[in-house]
Amino acid sequence: MPTVLRFGSFRVVIYPNDHRPAHVHVVGSDHEAVFALNCPDGPITIRENYGCSTRELSRIAQNLLENLLGLCEAWRRMHGIE
C-alpha cells in the first residue's frame, strides 16, 4: 500500500488496484477515513469514516486540499491514466 503523503500521525494511501472515482485512504494509529478527491479541482469530500473525530476530519480535509494536485497526479500515475 503506497503512502503518497504524511502529516501528523496520518498516512495518505492510494491502492494501485482500487476502483474509481479517485480517492485516498487516510490511516491513523487506530482509525481511518476515505476521501473522494473530485479531481482536479475538488472539493474534497468524506466517503467513509472509521473512528476519526470531526476535528480530525476537518484537519485531514484541509491537508488533502493543500495537496490536491499532487494527489490527483499520483492517482492517475498509479492507475495508468494519462
Query: What residue spans define the domains of the chain?
Result: 3-78
Per-residue pLDDT at 17:
86
Amino acid, res. 57: L
Distance separating alpha carbons of residues 54 and 25, to the nearest angstrom: 16
48 three-state secondary structure: strand
Q: All 3 cell numbers of residue 22?
A: 479517485
Per-residue pLDDT at 79:
87
- With 0-12 / 13-18 / 19 or more C-beta atoms within 10 angstroms meaning exposed / middle / buried, residue 19 is exposed
Specify the pTM. 0.92
Per-residue pLDDT at 19:
87
Q: For residues 16 and 76, is the Cβ–Cβ distance under 8 A? A: no
Residue range 21-69, pLDDT digits in tens:
999 999 999 999 999 999 999 999 999 999 999 999 999 999 999 999 9
Q: Among 9, 6, 1, which residue's Cα sits nearest to residue 31?
A: 9
Instruction: pLDDT band for 2, please (50, 70, 90 cuts).
Output: confident
